[in-house]
Every structure is written in C-alpha cells, then in structure tokens.
C-alpha cells in the first residue's frame, strides 16, 4: 500500500475528492474530512486489487498463448501430411516432422536444402512447373510426383502449394499417396490382366441388365456370331436365342437358383447359322441385396455337339451295320450252302450206276449251274473287296456298245424266254457309229448285274434295255447343246417286275443291302450286284439311279461319257511275247505247274488232247529248273499261287533265258486286273479258276494251233 505522503497518493486523493464532488456536489457538506479520507483509502485498496487482477489475467493469457503454441507445434509436427515452407528457389525454410519422415531424412538435414533434389529425375519437370505456377499465379497449385528412393521403395506424393502473402514464401502441403498409387497400379495390372483375358479368350463373357440388354460383351463374340461388339451393346441378348421357349426355360432356371451352370442353348449367328452353346450365368445383387445385373459366359460347343451327333449316328450305323452283318452272314451261309448242296447232293447221285443217261445229264447240269451260282457269289465278294481297297482301275479301250448289248441279249435270252417274258433291246446309234472309249468289261458287268436283277424280280410282262441320249430329266445333262453333240450315253434296264417301295429306294445301292434282308425274303443273292455296279459307273465318270413304283416295275439308269476319240495315253500297251511257229500235227511238250491235286488232274486231262509228253511240278523253283532242262518246251500252264516261288517270279526268271515258250497264267484270284498284271509279267495269256476244260482247250488252241 502506498504512503499517505507519497505524491502519487496525494494526487490520487485529490482526484478522488474531485471526482466525488463532481458526482455529488453536496458531498463535502455532508461528509466530514475523516470520512472523505476513509473513502479515499478504500479507493486506493480497490485500485490495488484491480492491478493485481490485471497482472494475474496477463499471466493467464500468456500461459494460454504458450499452451496454444505447444498445441499448434504438436499438430504441425505430427500431422499425417508434410508441411513445408519453401523459398521461390525451392529451398526448404521450414518443415514438420511428418514431411521429413515422408522424405526419409532427418529434419535438421533437410532445412536449407532444395526440395527438388528429393524429386525423382523423370518427375523434375513436373515439380519445376508446379513451383513456377505457384509463385506466378498466386493461387493454389497441385501435382503428383515420385520421390527418390532412399530405402529401395519408391514413394509417391501429392503436392499442394499456395503463396504466403506476408512472407512471399510457398506454403507446401505434401500427402504420401504411395499406398494409393501401389493399389492403383495393382488394380491397373489386375484390370489389364482380366481385360486381356476378356478381350482374347475364346469364350464369350457378357454382362446384361435385368431386362436382358447387353451392357458389355467380349470381342470374341465376332468369331462366334459374326456380330461385332458395337452391334450388340444395348441390344437384347434374348434376340440371339433360337426359340422363345429356350429363353423362358433359361430365365426360369436363373431366377430359381440365382445362377445356371453348363446350361445348353441353341443360338443363331448374324447369317442365321445355328450354334450350340453352353452358358454360365449369375445374378449379381447390389449392396442392399437387390438384383442388379447378370454376369455370364457363353462357350461354343457346336463342334462337340456335332461330334456327339456324329458319334451317335455312327453308333446307330454300327448297330445297323451289325444287324446287316448278321443278316449278310446268314445270307452268305444260305447263298453258299444252297449251291454247295446242289453240287454235293447231285454228285452223290451220280455215283449210282443205275440212273439213266438222261438223269445223269440232268444231274451234271444241276452241278454245273450250282457251281456257277457259287462262283458268282465269290466273284462279287472279291470284286467289292477290291473296290473298297482301291485296287480296281478303269482300263479304257475302243468298245462297240451295240455289240456289247447284243452279247447281253444273247446271254440272257434263253433265261428270259424260259420265264415267258418279252426281252427287248433298243440302241440309239447305228453299229458303225457305236464305237466309244470305255472299259468294256465294267460296262458289261454293270449290264449283267442290272439285267439279272430284272429277270430275278420280273415274272410277267417284259424287260427292255439299251441306251439313248435322252431319258427322263437327263436331257440337258447328256447333250452338249452348244455343239449339238451328246456328252454321255444314258443306259437303261426297264422291267415290269415287283418294283421297289419308296422308303427302300435310298438303300438299293448300299453294300449287302436288299429290299428285304430278313430271313423271309423270296429271292437269292448277296446284295452286292448294285453296289458293284454303282462303283463301276462312278469309276467310269458316270452316275446311276433308279425310278420305281411298287408292284408296277423299275427302271435303272446309268450314264457313261460319250468319248469317241481314242485315249491311247490311258490304255497301256503291253508287249506280247512272240508266238512260236508250230506245225498243226505236232505233239507238243507241255509243262503243268500246279500244287493242287484236283486242279492238276483237270489240267492233265486237258493237255492230253495236245500231247502225250508233259511234265508236272508243284513249285515255281521246280518250274524254272524243268524249263532250263527242256528248252524245247512249247507250253507252260503256270499257276500263280505256288509254294517257295510264285508264278509271277517263276515266269520272270524263265523269260531271262527262254523268250519263245508260251506261258499261260491260271489263277484263283479272278480279277480283271490280274490279266493286265499277268501280261506285264511275261505271260502270253490268262485263264481264271475255276477252270473250264473247254475254255482251257480253246486258249491252248489259240496259241498252239495255227
């Protein structure tokens, strides 16, 4: 407390009295001096208290300011972002601890250093432009840069800068976005990976809304449907479904289970082609569990389905083939055993010496006919086997078609007339103009098969056969309208027989097939004739077909090219060995080469007509040796299939030292190609087994008797 004599205190008292008098004019009259002094003293005490309070308030404010500064510093240093104060040149004036931590250096080492030093080299231009823009434009700028790696881990930061107007420094905020950038990079790689799969996978990935409109679809849809992606976005996927029923079934399955797996649908391409597909689809819901869209995949399984269909078809064909095989084997057993029964049965009857000569001749005829029937069956089987193996070729030569049809007519006339059926032949060319280039043997075989069938299935009426240029719907194909010349001959065999049911027309040319292939059929045959005929016709460059009406008759047609110019390059010339000069009454020396006992007996009986001196051997080696020892041999009957050395090789060796002896091949192979092979191997002629004595004698006469 101040002294009463203190000038300041005296001044204070005077001011107080003056103040009191001013506020209360009559104060002095009312108060005594002592009272005034007391009042002044109280005022002094109050003033002192006010001063003390002001001092305490000042101290409190200072403390509060200190606390606020400490709090600011804590927030500044430990904020997640880095704070920097940069000069115009980019020098770090100040920074917080977080900024130093992001850079990876101590704060004391960073002050007064260049911020740009810590930016990666390839991002320096970005940072320099950023800093220039901050100082030139005076407003907030941002950028993303990568910092130099001091710990082998790249760091990415987001920078935001503004100008402090008072200091003209850049206040820089730096946010570490490394995790975000890495996540973005991982996401980019993942998206790139799956986008690559999406773009390049063969399967079709799609996304559609709940109405079926396509939101997205992989480009592979073009390979599958001919549509490009742009054609389909926004269109309905259900428009690709083949039928509304399939769409309904698919949606029902999807709504029931929320997904479908390996659901097979038929879809159509842009050109209308049908594709078989396997579809996976899943209903995708939003965060609240409500259906949002559908993701799915389409896989083209057309090839698999077609393969399955082919396999299924093949299975059915195999089952049918197995049935046909059983029927064929049963038929073959019947077809072989029946004539064999005639041969063996009537041969046994011939042993009875009491039978009449008339009966004996009849039995011999039955045996001969039964043997020919069996031979025809065996020949058909061999022919079809050769055809399937590709061993039968066309051999073109000049052929007179009229002469060929005449031979067919002569061959079958007795048999047809025996059934009291009219037999008619019709030719469209004069004899002198009927020469064409074709394979005479094959055309003959085709006609034989067709006419035999007509005779077999016709019991009354007539059979007509021949050729023309204009039959049915073939005129435009068989005639060269430009030159007015026929391109092909159209042959026909027409009968008034039992006909063929319409449902059976498609199988008549198949192997081992007959209109009735059950055990109840009424007609003999192996079911190979028409198949062989078809193969021969196609080999000659023609076609074959049938028109028939059940119970009224059938017409079989086939065509061959009308080639009138010689095809010498096709017909191979074979050099025939010179025939020896012989005298009509000479007893010839003959060598029989045969390993089968009964064939040897038959040949011996035949050669005895020409010679009492003959040799018999059983192998090719013995044949060559015998020929060396007997250079004056006139004739060799050479079997093809022999032990140790076959007939072809034996003949080749004989020709090396004897080019004049006549060698006739005789074989059981029975193929037209065998004659060509025999002539090429050095034989003079060829005769097929089973041997006919009359045919063999005729061949020997042709070569031995002038």
What tens digit of pLDDT does each residue of 451-480 get? Answer: 988 998 999 999 999 999 754 444 445 555
Residues of the chain with CATH 3.40.50.2300: 589-704
The encoded tokens of residue 354 equal 């009491």
Tell which CATH classification among 3.40.50.300, 3.90.1150.10, 3.30.450.20, 3.40.50.150 matches the domain 201-300.
3.30.450.20
Dihedral (Cα; 208, 212, 218, 219), 10-degree rounding: -150
Nearest alpha carbon to residue 648 among 688, 671, 681? 681
At residue 104, the pLDDT reads: 83
Residues of the chain with CATH 1.10.287.130: 307-383
At residue 473, the pLDDT reads: 45
Contact assessment for residue 117 and residue 127, using Cβ atoms and an 8 Å cutoff: no
Gap between the Cα atoms of 655 and 658, Å rounded: 5
Instruction: Please tell me the class of the 393-561 domain.
Output: alpha beta
Contact assessment for residue 251 and residue 260, using Cβ atoms and an 8 Å cutoff: no
Gap between the Cα atoms of 38 and 58, Å rounded: 31
Can you name the CATH fold of 307-383? Helix Hairpins (1.10.287)
Residue 658: φ, ψ to 5°: -145, 100
pLDDT in tens, 546-574: 999 888 899 999 999 988 754 444 343 33
Gap between the Cα atoms of 167 and 165, Å rounded: 6
Share of the chain above pLDDT 90, in %: 18
- 3-state DSSP assignment of residue 179: helix
**Confidence class for position 364, pLDDT limits 50, 70, 90:** confident
Residues of the chain with CATH 3.30.565.10: 393-561
Region 58-71 average pLDDT:
58
pTM of the model: 0.45
Residues of the chain with CATH 3.30.450.20: 79-182, 201-300
Contact assessment for residue 523 and residue 456, using Cβ atoms and an 8 Å cutoff: yes
At residue 324, the pLDDT reads: 63
Structure-model confidence comparison of residues 55 and 412, the more confident one: 412
Can you name the CATH fold of 79-182? Beta-Lactamase (3.30.450)
Instruction: Please tell me the class of the 589-704 domain.
Output: alpha beta
Contact assessment for residue 547 and residue 557, using Cβ atoms and an 8 Å cutoff: yes
């Amino acid at each position: 407390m101040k002294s009463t004599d203190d000038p300041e205190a005296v001044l204070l008292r005077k001011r107080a009295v003056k103040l009191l008098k001013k506020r209360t004019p009559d104060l002095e009259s009312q108060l005594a001096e002592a009272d005034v002094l007391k009042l002044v003293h109280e005022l002094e005490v109050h003033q002192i208290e006010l001063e003390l309070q002001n001092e305490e308030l000042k101290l409190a404010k200072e403390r509060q300011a200190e606390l606020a500064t400490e709090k600011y510093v804590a927030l500044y240093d430990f904020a997640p972002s880095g704070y920097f104060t940069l000069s115009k040149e980019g020098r770090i004036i100040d920074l917080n601890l977080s900024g130093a931590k992001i850079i990876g250096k101590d704060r004391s080492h960073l002050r007064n250093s260049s911020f740009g030093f810590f930016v990666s080299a390839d991002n320096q231009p970005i940072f320099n432009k950023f800093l220039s823009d901050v100082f030139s434009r005076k407003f907030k700028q941002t950028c993303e840069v990568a910092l130099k790696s001091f710990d082998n881990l790249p760091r990415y930061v987001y920078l935001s800068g503004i100008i402090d107007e008072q200091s003209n420094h850049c206040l820089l905020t730096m946010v570490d976005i490394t995790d975000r950038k890495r996540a973005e990079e991982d996401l980019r790689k993942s998206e790139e990976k799956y986008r690559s799969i999406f773009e390049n996978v063969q399967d079709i990935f799609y996304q559609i809304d709940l109405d079926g409109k396509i939101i997205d679809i992989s480009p592979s849809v073009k390979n599958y449907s001919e549509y490009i992606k742009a054609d389909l976005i926004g269109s309905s996927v259900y428009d690709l479904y083949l039928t509304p029923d399939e769409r309904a079934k698919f949606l029902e399955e999807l709504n029931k289970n929320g997904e479908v797996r390996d659901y097979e649908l038929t879809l159509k391409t842009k050109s209308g082609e049908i594709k078989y597909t396997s579809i996976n689809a899943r209903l995708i819901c939003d965060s609240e569990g409500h259906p949002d869209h559908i993701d799915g995949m389409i896989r083209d399984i057309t090839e698999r389905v077609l393969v399955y269909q082919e396999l299924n078809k093949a299975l059915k064909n195999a089952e049918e083939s197995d049935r046909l095989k059983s029927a064929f084997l049963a038929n073959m057993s019947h077809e072989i055993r029946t004539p064999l029964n005639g041969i063996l049965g009537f041969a046994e009857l011939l042993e009875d010496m009491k039978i009449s000569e008339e009966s004996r001749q009849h039995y011999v005829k039955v045996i001969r006919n039964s043997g020919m029937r069996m031979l025809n069956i065996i020949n058909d089987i061999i022919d079809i086997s050769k055809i399937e193996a590709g061993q039968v070729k066309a051999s073109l030569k000049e052929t007179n078609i009229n002469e060929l049809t005449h031979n067919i007519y002569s061959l079958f006339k007795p048999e047809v007339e025996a059934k009291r059926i009219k037999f008619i032949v019709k030719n469209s060319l004069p004899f002198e103009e009927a020469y064409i280039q074709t394979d005479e043997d094959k055309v003959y075989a085709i006609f034989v098969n067709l006419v035999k069938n007509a005779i077999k299935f016709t019991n009354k009426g007539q059979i007509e056969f021949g050729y023309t240029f204009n039959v049915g719907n073939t005129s435009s194909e068989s005639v060269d309208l430009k030159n007015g010349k026929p391109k092909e001959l159209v042959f026909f065999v027409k009968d008034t027989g039992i006909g063929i049911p319409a449902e059976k027309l498609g199988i008549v040319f198949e192997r081992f097939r007959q209109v009735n292939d059950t055990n109840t059929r009424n007609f003999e045959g192996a079911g190979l004739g028409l198949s062989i005929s078809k193969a021969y016709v196609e080999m000659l460059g023609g076609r074959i077909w049938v028109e028939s009406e059940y119970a009224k008759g059938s017409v079989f047609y086939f065509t061959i090219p009308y080639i009138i110019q010689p095809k010498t390059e096709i017909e191979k010339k074979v050099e025939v060995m010179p025939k020896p000069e012989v005298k009509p009454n000479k007893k010839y020396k003959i060598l029989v080469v045969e390993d089968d006992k009964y064939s040897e007996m038959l040949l011996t009986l035949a050669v005895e007509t020409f010679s009492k001196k003959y040799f018999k051997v059983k192998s090719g080696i013995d044949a060559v040796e015998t020929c060396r020892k007997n250079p004056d041999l006139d004739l060799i009957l050479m079997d093809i299939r022999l032990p140790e050395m076959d007939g072809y090789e034996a003949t080749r060796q004989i020709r090396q030292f004897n080019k004049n002896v006549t060698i006739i091949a005789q074989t059981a192979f029975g193929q037209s190609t065998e004659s060509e092979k025999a002539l090429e191997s050095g034989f003079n002629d060829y005769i097929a087994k089973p041997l006919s004595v009359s045919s063999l004698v005729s061949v020997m006469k042709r070569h031995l008797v002038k």
